[in-house]
Structure 1
Amino acid sequence: MSIIIEPIPFYETNYAWLVVGKTNKAIVIDPGDANPIMKTLNEKKLLLQVILITHFHNDHIGGVRTLKNTFGCQVIGPLKEADKIGVLDVKVGDKDLLDFDGLGLGQAEVICTPGHTLGSICYYLPKFRMLFTGDTVFSLGCGRLFEGTYLQMFNSLQKLASYPDDTNIYCAHEYTLDNGRFAETLPTRNDLLKERMAEVIYERQNNRPTLPISLSVEKQTNPFLMAKTLELFTALRKAKDHF
């Protein structure tokens, strides 16, 4: 069965992900700005059924109230950040399952991934091998530590790396080019990274997204997923912060 899965860009680097299964009812992940979401939904004649939120930062939730008031959609997000988000209909935690079978999307698994924020979560749709990582994993990078510890983020990345290699990663920012330039300075750089960067440069020159990307490729090119120890991960994160 085919589905619609596409990024809706807003601000300078953000993506809200639009997912549509067998109906005209849509799911949107991390809608920080309502306007481009509504424009896309209207153009495609879609109804917004569900909003999924990965964490409370405003560039991920800024459009939620307007969209909820317009469409009457259900808002799902992290239990640990419910007070900061304020508009959640369903509050979820680690290993909770969400049933989107009526939309043709099967189940979604909730994965707690503290690090970027303490309550950050990701969503995995096994039927289509789709992993929505918010600001936890980016292509060739990972999120900054605004609230969590290095250990928490390291463990969160290791958890995500355990999912099937053919999983596609849908993260919330177009940071791949900058992340890749950092990765190219490291001893872990390899031919696959070189090939990936050539693709990334081409796509960005043509104003196209560099996402999604397979977890398999990320595990061989993303220095933060390749880091096998907390000490190495910590050194990499600190170095990237000052890159």
Structure 2
Amino acid sequence: MTFYETINFDSPELSVSKFCLIHYIPFITKEKKMNLKIKKIMAVSIVLMLSWVVVGLAVAQTPCPMNNEAGGRCRGMGSEGGGPMGCPGFCQGISGISLKQIMAMDLTDEQKTKVANVLAAHQEESRQLADSLAGARQTFVDVLNSEKAGDEAAVRQAFRQMSEIMENQVVVKTKIIAGLKPVLSQGQLMDLTDHPSKKSGDQKPMNHMKKQGDVQREMMDTWIRTYADAPGAKE
């Protein structure tokens, strides 16, 4: 009996695994690599399945504090959110690129490795900037809620700190896109950089779940570890 024959795709309990297998198994063509690939696939599937369970539980329990990544929004790295307290969307994933976007591009095995290498090369810097922005934003909020709110110089200084970090985030994002251009097709690049505007009624509230952002960050890290050649590698 082959590995495929052992999978009950009609079982609702395997819905997450089925989703992951659809993305990864079709690219496995050599029998000698089957066992190693299957181990990686199942590892990613298990992590994703557990992560989504945690997300589901977190949604009803944990509010997102002001000092989370990307200026109070735990959602994605697209352009959703916004406003004077928002930023160009740097929450989950790496500098504006989410795992959901990557998986939706139907990458080949070769593309997965190259994309993972590019993201890994900027992973640490991206996360440091996101954490720095969280602290800078909290400082800005503290200023607005203190006696310094009437001090124009203090308000400008606090906001300037946020702006500088956000500027650096945009620079890192452009470096990543430049590294991905030789790897992705024109259509894939458009899917990655296009952020259709949302109706105001679809905007996520500021107190969205921080745990969801944390889980999505870990999911991205797992994907990079699975496909990158080595930490800090870059194609």
TM-score bracket for the superposition, by shorter chain length:
under 0.3
Normalized against structure 1, the TM-score is what?
Answer: 0.22
Bigger fraction of residues in strand: 1
Structure of greater Rg: 2
Normalized against structure 2, the TM-score is what?
Answer: 0.23
Bigger fraction of residues in helix: 2
The answer to which structure, 1 or 2, has the higher relative contact order (CA under 8 A, 6+ apart) is 2
